[in-house]
Structure 1
């Protein structure tokens, strides 16, 4: 009984993590297409905040 509950919780967490990872990967791809291979420091120098 305890094992099946743990397995269900594990599966639930795994699904959540996979969704999150997919989202982050998409964000990363978007970022790369937007900014190319610029480093964080290069982006900071060009930011309008300064």
Structure 2
């Protein structure tokens, strides 16, 4: 049972902190200035015509 307790304490402290920081970083990355242009460009990729010659 000692390994369970150690993993549980890790998950409750450092893993939670890491996941929170990762989530905050992902949100900041998505809503950064200039991201709208890249998102619109990526959204139009499926609609571009294929240039198979």
Q: Could you say which TM-score interval applies, normalised by the shorter chain? A: 0.5 to 0.7
Distance in 1 between residues matched to 2:29 and 2:40, nearest whole Å: 16
TM-score normalised by structure 2 residue count: 0.52
TM-score normalised by structure 1 residue count: 0.55
Aligned structure 1 segments of 4 or more residues deviating by more than 6 angstroms = none
Normalized per residue, which structure has more helix?
Answer: 1
Provide structure 2 residue ranges, at least 5 long, that are not aligned to the other structure: 49-53
Q: Which is greater in Rg?
A: 2
| CA RMSD of superposed structures (Å) | 2.9
Aligned length: 42
Provide structure 1 residue ranges, at least 5 long, that are not aligned to the other structure: 46-50
